[in-house]
Structure 1
Amino acid sequence: MVRLEVPGSWGTPDPEQLFEAFNSWVEARGITLYPAQEDAILELAAGNHVIMATPTGSGKSMVALAAHFFALARGERTVYTAPIKALVSEKFFSLVEVFGPEKVGMVTGDSAVNAQAPIICCTAEILANEALRDGADADLGPVVMDEFHFYADPHRGWAWQVPLIELRGRSGAQSPVQFLLMSATLGDTSKFERNIAERTGRDVVVVSSAQRPVPLDFEYSTTALVDKLEELAGKQLAPVYVVHFSQRAAAEQASGLMSLNLLTKAERELLGERLKNFRFAKGYGQTLSRLLKSGVGVHHAGMLPKYRRLVEQLAQEGLLKVISGTDTLGVGINVPIRTVLMTGLSKFDGSRVRQLNAREFHQIAGRAGRAGFDTEGTVVVQAPEHVIENEAAARKLAAKHSGDETKLAQALKSKPKKKPPEGFVSWSEKTFEKLIGAEPEPMVSRMRVTYAMVLHLLNRPEDPVRAMRRLITSSDETPARQAQLQRRALEILRELLAAGVLEKLDEPDEDGRTVDLKLDLQDDFALNQPLAPFAVAALELLDPESETYALDVISVIESILDTPYQVTGAQVKKLKSERLAELKADGVDYTERMRILDELTHPQPLAELLEQQFEVYRTAAPWVGDYELEPKSVVRDMVERAFTFIDAVNFYGLARSEGVLLRYLTDAYRTLRQTVPTGKVSDELEDLTEWLGEVIRQTDSSLLEEWERLAAGDDPEKLAELAQKHDNDDAAAPPTGITGNERAFSVLVRNGMFRRAELFQQEKEEALAALEREHNPDSVWASADQWGDALDAFFDEYEDVYVDAKARSAELFRVNKNPADKPGFWHVVQVFDDDQANHDWGIHAWVDLAASDEAEAAVISVHHVGELRP
């Protein structure tokens, strides 16, 4: 891409000069600005705020580029914000391509790169925190707030409102901040126009356009979904994005579409060639591979990132005809489509099932139609399924009794109609038509007050009590809600005073402060993992000599991470299933069984200890009350069960939530690396951390590689290389051999051997044989009878074999990495911790290194189970 450079000889550029320079760069790329784009860019050049409320596909990103360019030309610092980290990261890399790596930085909740750059990409919360800390003194010029309709988000809307209030002019002077607020579904913006102009002393201009660059055609369908998709494909209206409102529905629907005849022979061959070098892992990867080869994609947040990216790339290349996904389409995912087909007009919003509102409908519908490719986009909404089935039955009867109105009327009357499922929230063609013409609902204020907000305000050269009162009374909340927020702010202030975090001054200081901070907060307060300081303090409670020390450290770290509810929910489901079988076998009556099952939760190691310590810690650091401690066991569970990633997915039935598990494991790895002090890292913990990193890399390295690249710092050459690297090269690149990281591979082998010891202790000969059959189907140990004989021999001599932390210790695992008689193999022995502590029995096996690299897993072949051999 041609770089957008700022001439060094400009001095102070005038608006016309700014516009002409930017427009020349646009034209050099063969692009002509739309009228709405030109209007918005001229207003930005003139120094006005711009609210850009134009349809999807109208080029709002180009206007944002102009805002950043103008800032560079004026010597100002500029910020781009978005609602989610993925969009922030995507914008960061695209801006690096346009302006160069030295001019662009990124700050999110857990990553920072080139943070002193003149252009910063960040989440809305990061900008809100800066606005709270610096207020009118913030060193900012243009502030681009993308997807601004998130102002009305119940959980995060406060972060979109705070900058509008706090980045104001000082003492009647004009504010240096210039806002560009962008969304296709803003609705009535009059309150923003009025308030922003009043606070900043700059004019606010609304740029809107009812005319979409690619107009939309709307259709209500009573045809069965599969038939409708074939019809759309036949009319050359593909690619079609089929919108569902749950990941389960998206995945299940996709599997039912493989029978569709969507591709020509040439297209199938091209798609097969494109996928030839892509690495599909076990689990959902095998299903996705079959779907893609039939021209059907799947796209939702539960997928591995590499799979979502592949689907986006194939869609961009025109190789997919149908993509079955979720309504995340409305948050700007990069899937160019011609037709949006909504499977319904109602969704579960976390608390209840309700009809879509106008904003949600238009956000999704607006993605139809590809600028530069389509002359028209198509939006199809399916009638409720029971309505479609009833209409199909009516058409069948009409054909059967054609010409005989009496018989037809009788048949229709006697034919029972299918009813909607219980609790179903219905919609109709009238609902659809109403939504098409409806304006987006007014955006509701979502202000809140937290400990962190109070502490950020303490950085101001003014009284934080007065600053908080002004923030609340300037918000768009009702008077009653403002009164509630003020009471909450006072509660927080009193608690901070009581805890000794703040002290009340006898008289105001030179800045007018009536309270002052007594503690030194870390420089990156509220930017990184908020409970990380607690985790460091909690590590002091652990005994480094304990056999479970490394696992306990992992449990401390897991307690401060966000809970992956799909994973913990699957754990509870599995526990209940196993416990139910036990209770039934024990003859426990139904009522008691249900009571016991209702009390089951996901595993929570160290929960009591950590929760007690958290309450103690909170007395000295009240701000942690903004967050919840969440003890859980995901990483630890994988270690204790000796699971690989695929083992965990299969055991808990997480095929549709692989991406959720991977993101959690990546967060755990990052936090282990960033948070645990060097002095607290034992050899075993280092081994487990290396193993976890390798599990992530072998599953999908994209999340981890992005973090590691960002963590590498501000090296412009590395950033330039990153910006130039093509996504296809990433997808097709051969993986690093799993044996390349010997330390991590050793843990993988140890886990594999210990898993066999656990199954041996549980006397599960069939499961042991199945492990052997996975890589060595011809081995004698692929027979359950062979394992049964070994079990009989062991338990004739011993009562039990232990599988606790001591049994997992390095002393009971032996490895020879250079056997003279078998190069390219390791010889390993898992010694049994028998009840007499003789340690003279175990499992002997060979580990094939070359086969392990090929299989991307430890290929272990058992050759002896019994008394130890020299």
Structure 2
Amino acid sequence: MSDTSFPLVRILSRLSQRGSNVDRDELLSLFLDYVSELGFDLYPAQEEAILELLQWHHVILNTPTGSGKSLVAMALHFQALAENRVCYYTSPIKALANEKFFDLCETLGPENVGLMTGDGSVNRDAPIICCTAEILANRALREPDFPVDYVVMDEFHYYGDRERGMAWQIPLITLRDTVFLLMSATLGDVSEIAKRLDAYTDRQVSVITGAQRPVPLTFSYREAMTHETVQELFDSNEAPIYLVNFTQRACAEQAQALTSLSFLSKQERQQIAAELQSVRFDTPNGKELSRFLRAGIGIHHAGLLPKYRLTVEKLSQAGFLKVVSGTDSLGVGVNIPIRSVVFRQLCKFDGDRTAILTAREFHQIAGRAGRRGFDDHGLVVVQSPEHIAENRRLEAKRIKNPHLKNKLVNKKPPIKGYVPWDEKTFDRLREAPPEPLVPQFSVNHGMLIQVLQAYAHVPGGGYRRIVEIIQRAHLRDAEKRIQLRLAAKLFMSLRQVGVVQVEWEDNEPLRFVRVREDLQKDFSLHQALSLFLVEAVELIDPTTETHALDVLTLVESILENPTVVLLKQVDKLKGELVGKLKAEGVEYEERMEALERVEYPKPNAEFIYETFNLFAKGHPWVGAENIKPKSVARDMVERAVTFNEYVRDLGLARSEGVLLRYLTQVYKTCVQNVPETLRTEPFDDVISFLHTMIIRTDSSLIEEWERMMRGEIVRPKDRFQPPEPTSPTHLASDFKAFVRRIRNEMFMLLKSLSDRNWEDAVTCIRDDGDEPWTEKRFEQVMAPYFDAHAFIDVSPSARGTRNTEVQQQGEQCWSVLQRIIDPEGDEDWFIEGWIDLDLIRDQSEPLVSLRRIGS
């Protein structure tokens, strides 16, 4: 491929001289040629920012959404290439780093761009690197001579994020010789950040703000019902509309309420139906979502399965969805076209209490309205509280019908989850600038060890470096003293357990601080928990019947809690308990006391806590809060339930994505962190069970991870394309894993048949031939069996390997025989099927085609 394929590479070739002495006037002229080729003119704020960067000044760019901040970043990447320097681009999420990687590859050439995320890296020695903020922060701590000349920090308002903000601050107080470009649309007052950055780097900081927005916004406040506002906006050609909710439940409820409105023409409905033909809506939430989409309404929140979220984004970009009812989490990395943003309310639960939105939150969401290149304006509408709009409607009825005056009772405001707002609240948020960013900084064991390792051979060691970092932190003096005392306490704890050693030479003062050599150079808390996992697995007797499940419990204990799933487990247990206590005649007060003591299942909790406490004595950087016994994956394996069954059982339809992400994390941890030498055949079966369940539900998460592990990534826009055909030989290349998957698929079919869940049974097999296996056909074929037997045995013994026979019949063909065990232990019935890998085009499809079920 020639350089002409990459615009800035072609333009760069016209540069008379490259390197640190490059002619900056010539460099600017060439970049302006590139901007002209794009058909743009620079806004004043863009031009000022680029000129400041050419002077090697830091730039804090605080301009509205759509004002071309990415073009300024591109100018800095171009400048880095021209000067033969290194430039890092950081983002809050891997998806955005991935997207930026491909954008830069297309403009700067793939040989010049690399990608680094927690899952893997591509071309990591390239001069331009895309990564998450945490990757940059960790390298800044671990590498004393970290070679980075320029850093672009996108979405810099994350600097104030309580959980992750420290990753945005660390580079600013460790990379003294680096030029920074800090960008966001909602920064607020950054004078203190600029002052501290100037003082540390001795380099000028230019704060550039601009109110000029390519697509101007119009704001309005309405006392009307939501469906009335949406209908009016649609009739006024103000769609697509993003309806902002603050709970996943509200997203679905509002979408349902809007289905009574007509948004689509007959042709559009047909086009949507054609687009959805290849989408499997085969989970409990799928049918509802499918119905919404066919009405031109989407929903978007973190609880959706990735395949559903991707479908919503695809239909939105194609212009088929007129309304998307989503949460306020619609942010970076999500490309949904929006002309109008409608706030249903101005209060939300912030993790501690229900409160009015901050100005930053309001502007961040409102800024999504209006698409550059598509809209000449964006519209932001704020709804009054629902009871206000309803009471206004009732008052109009009373005026029109005086005889109904005493019958029409005003609606009261909600008792919970509500803080009142009105038009004055709206005006204040609209006019207020974003609040100043609050710096986040706290020393921890992981940070301490990384720095001590990096400076082990420097007199004074890394502890002196830690003190310097704390003294440069963006904190008040009193807060710095607190952090210095904390660092000393953590350092002493590491010395006490022998992780850190202080070495003296010839009665000289303190010279070196050494970290125990067996700690990996890329130490992290996750790796420490992984080490605990390995040590704890070694303590479990592999001959016990529950060994595989106990190992799975250990895996779950080192992972973050899927809170919504655990809460649903508690709800179910409470429901079962209250029914039992009522039947036993237990008094109300005693029932309530008993319900207060209910918690989610924690198998082997005593063993896990005791083992972890012993481990923590030698590894003080792990705290008691980092071990979390629970049983989600174990519960599913132990009860042999499918994903759909578990979702229905706990009522998780609106949180399917949460459950899938958690199961994927469990699977990845099993594969990555349980050594093969400690795995047993039953545990490999557990891994296969999880893998089969995940890819049959939604294969995108595992496929993305497996590609990253192989050094491959998928261009974001290609996610919308049909999947590439899977090589038939690939599925059977690991024959043991292939057979395990077949056994798991057949068992899922057996489980569905045993539960007489014909709908799920249909999804367990391939739809081949002229006589498809429908729900009715399954019911008819199984009727004789259930006339003679109460159920199908799906116990662990019935799931044994001997009950599934797989025999190769050709190069790509296998026959499958699955025995059906009846309650008496007889094997008179069986399932016959076949597999033709030449027919498999997507590994998420079922493998087995059904021939017959009978005796």
Deviation at 1:379, TM superposition (A): 0.3
Residue in 1 that maps onto 2:743: 747
Q: Aligned pairs, how many?
A: 821
Deviation at 1:540, TM superposition (A): 0.8
- 1:563-612 CA-to-partner distances (Å, cap 9, x unmatched) read 21122222222232233333333333333333333333323233322222
- Give the Cα–Cα distance (whole angstroms) in 2 for the partners of residues 164 and 522 of structure 1: 26
Aligned residues of 1:770 and 1:782 also touching (Cα < 8 A) = no
Residues 832, 538 of structure 1: CA spacing in aligned structure 2 closer, same or farther, 3 A cutoff? farther
Residues 207, 816 of structure 1: CA spacing in aligned structure 2 closer, same or farther, 3 A cutoff? closer
2:175 to 156, 167, 182: 167
Residue in 1 that maps onto 2:306: 305
Aligned residues of 2:94 and 2:117 also touching (Cα < 8 A) = yes
Q: Secondary structure at the match of 2:622?
A: helix
Q: Secondary structure at the match of 2:626?
A: coil
- Give the Cα–Cα distance (whole angstroms) in 2 for the partners of residues 506 and 711 of structure 1: 43
Aligned residues of 2:244 and 2:325 also touching (Cα < 8 A) = yes
Residue in 1 that maps onto 2:639: 641
- 1:325-352 CA-to-partner distances (Å, cap 9, x unmatched) read 0111244521121110011000001110
Task: Point out the more displaced range, 17-26 or 440-449.
Answer: 17-26
Deviation at 1:457, TM superposition (A): 1.5
1:157 maps to amino acid:
G
Q: Secondary structure at the match of 2:49?
A: helix
Residue in 2 that maps onto 1:669: 667
1:276 maps to amino acid:
Q
Deviation at 1:542, TM superposition (A): 2.2
Residues 244, 772 of structure 1: CA spacing in aligned structure 2 closer, same or farther, 3 A cutoff? closer
Residues 370, 660 of structure 1: CA spacing in aligned structure 2 closer, same or farther, 3 A cutoff? same
1:245 maps to amino acid:
F
Deviation at 1:323, TM superposition (A): 0.7
- 1:307-338 CA-to-partner distances (Å, cap 9, x unmatched) read 22222222222221111101112445211211
Residues 412, 330 of structure 1: CA spacing in aligned structure 2 closer, same or farther, 3 A cutoff? farther
- Give the Cα–Cα distance (whole angstroms) in 1 for the partners of residues 274 and 262 of structure 2: 19
What is the CA RMSD across the aligned residues, in angstroms? 3.4
Residue in 2 that maps onto 1:810: 801
1:453-532 paired onto structure 2 within 5 Å = 453-458=447-452, 459-460=454-455, 461=458, 462-506=460-504, 513=511, 515-526=513-524, 529-532=527-530
Aligned residues of 2:616 and 2:622 also touching (Cα < 8 A) = yes
- Give the Cα–Cα distance (whole angstroms) in 2 for the partners of residues 112 and 607 of structure 1: 37
- Give the Cα–Cα distance (whole angstroms) in 2 for the partners of residues 529 and 662 of structure 1: 23
Q: Secondary structure at the match of 1:160?
A: helix
1:52-131 paired onto structure 2 within 5 Å = 52-131=61-140
Q: Secondary structure at the match of 1:297?
A: strand
- Give the Cα–Cα distance (whole angstroms) in 1 for the partners of residues 525 and 146 of structure 2: 17
Deviation at 1:485, TM superposition (A): 1.9
1:142 corresponds to 2:165: no
Q: Secondary structure at the match of 1:328?
A: coil
Residue in 2 that maps onto 1:777: 776
Residues 802, 693 of structure 1: CA spacing in aligned structure 2 closer, same or farther, 3 A cutoff? closer
Deviation at 1:856, TM superposition (A): 4.0
- Give the Cα–Cα distance (whole angstroms) in 1 for the partners of residues 254 and 724 of structure 2: 28
Deviation at 1:531, TM superposition (A): 1.7
- Give the Cα–Cα distance (whole angstroms) in 2 for the partners of residues 90 and 214 of structure 1: 23
2:121 maps to amino acid:
A
Residue in 2 that maps onto 1:726: 718
Deviation at 1:753, TM superposition (A): 6.6
1:826 maps to amino acid:
V
Deviation at 1:301, TM superposition (A): 1.1
Q: Secondary structure at the match of 1:381?
A: strand
1:102 maps to amino acid:
E
Task: Point out the more displaced range, 470-479 or 42-51.
Answer: 470-479
Deviation at 1:767, TM superposition (A): 4.9
Q: Secondary structure at the match of 1:531?
A: helix
Q: Secondary structure at the match of 2:722?
A: helix
Aligned residues of 1:77 and 1:118 also touching (Cα < 8 A) = yes
- Give the Cα–Cα distance (whole angstroms) in 2 for the partners of residues 772 and 545 of structure 1: 34
- Give the Cα–Cα distance (whole angstroms) in 2 for the partners of residues 373 and 312 of structure 1: 17
Residue in 1 that maps onto 2:413: 420
Q: Secondary structure at the match of 2:776?
A: coil
- Give the Cα–Cα distance (whole angstroms) in 1 for the partners of residues 447 and 251 of structure 2: 39
- Give the Cα–Cα distance (whole angstroms) in 1 for the partners of residues 760 and 307 of structure 2: 28
Deviation at 1:375, TM superposition (A): 1.4
Aligned residues of 2:251 and 2:299 also touching (Cα < 8 A) = yes
Q: Secondary structure at the match of 2:8?
A: coil
Deviation at 1:500, TM superposition (A): 0.6
Q: Secondary structure at the match of 2:42?
A: coil
Aligned residues of 1:250 and 1:325 also touching (Cα < 8 A) = yes
- Give the Cα–Cα distance (whole angstroms) in 2 for the partners of residues 709 and 770 of structure 1: 33
Residue in 1 that maps onto 2:164: 156
Residue in 2 that maps onto 1:845: 831
1:603 to 601, 604, 611: 601
Deviation at 1:365, TM superposition (A): 0.7
Where structure 2 has 5 or more consecutive residues not aligned to the other structure, the ranges are 764-773
- Give the Cα–Cα distance (whole angstroms) in 1 for the partners of residues 42 and 555 of structure 2: 50
Residues 47, 196 of structure 1: CA spacing in aligned structure 2 closer, same or farther, 3 A cutoff? same
Among the aligned pairs, what percent are the same residue? Answer: 43
Aligned residues of 1:85 and 1:108 also touching (Cα < 8 A) = yes
Aligned residues of 2:578 and 2:591 also touching (Cα < 8 A) = yes
Task: Point out the more displaced range, 484-493 or 46-55.
Answer: 484-493
Task: Point out the more displaced range, 65-74 or 434-443.
Answer: 65-74
Q: Secondary structure at the match of 2:180?
A: strand
Residue in 2 that maps onto 1:798: none
1:298-377 paired onto structure 2 within 5 Å = 298-331=299-332, 333-377=334-378
- Give the Cα–Cα distance (whole angstroms) in 2 for the partners of residues 290 and 737 of structure 1: 38
1:281 maps to amino acid:
D
Residues 105, 697 of structure 1: CA spacing in aligned structure 2 closer, same or farther, 3 A cutoff? farther
Aligned residues of 1:97 and 1:724 also touching (Cα < 8 A) = no
Residues 735, 514 of structure 1: CA spacing in aligned structure 2 closer, same or farther, 3 A cutoff? closer
1:11 corresponds to 2:18: yes
- Give the Cα–Cα distance (whole angstroms) in 2 for the partners of residues 425 and 89 of structure 1: 39
Residue in 1 that maps onto 2:771: none
Q: Secondary structure at the match of 1:690?
A: helix
1:679-694 paired onto structure 2 within 5 Å = 679-694=677-692
Where structure 1 has 5 or more consecutive residues not aligned to the other structure, the ranges are 169-174, 402-406, 760-765, 795-800
- Give the Cα–Cα distance (whole angstroms) in 2 for the partners of residues 771 and 165 of structure 1: 56
Deviation at 1:819, TM superposition (A): 10
Task: Point out the more displaced range, 659-668 or 108-117.
Answer: 108-117
1:285 corresponds to 2:322: no
Deviation at 1:477, TM superposition (A): 2.4
Aligned residues of 1:77 and 1:141 also touching (Cα < 8 A) = yes
1:533-682 paired onto structure 2 within 5 Å = 533-625=531-623, 628-682=626-680
Give the TM-score of the pair, scaled to structure 2.
0.88
1:47 corresponds to 2:56: yes
Q: Secondary structure at the match of 1:256?
A: helix
1:617 maps to amino acid:
F
Task: Point out the more displaced range, 385-394 or 651-660.
Answer: 651-660
Aligned residues of 1:603 and 1:632 also touching (Cα < 8 A) = yes
2:696 maps to amino acid:
Q
Residue in 2 that maps onto 1:216: 217
Aligned residues of 1:108 and 1:527 also touching (Cα < 8 A) = no
Aligned residues of 1:642 and 1:754 also touching (Cα < 8 A) = no
Aligned residues of 2:80 and 2:86 also touching (Cα < 8 A) = yes
Give the TM-score of the pair, scaled to structure 1.
0.87
Deviation at 1:768, TM superposition (A): 7.3
2:132 maps to amino acid:
T
2:818 to 821, 828, 831: 828
- Give the Cα–Cα distance (whole angstroms) in 2 for the partners of residues 390 and 768 of structure 1: 46
- Give the Cα–Cα distance (whole angstroms) in 1 for the partners of residues 526 and 104 of structure 2: 24
1:190 corresponds to 2:187: no
- Give the Cα–Cα distance (whole angstroms) in 2 for the partners of residues 210 and 167 of structure 1: 31
Residues 550, 117 of structure 1: CA spacing in aligned structure 2 closer, same or farther, 3 A cutoff? farther
Task: Point out the more displaced range, 368-377 or 109-118.
Answer: 109-118
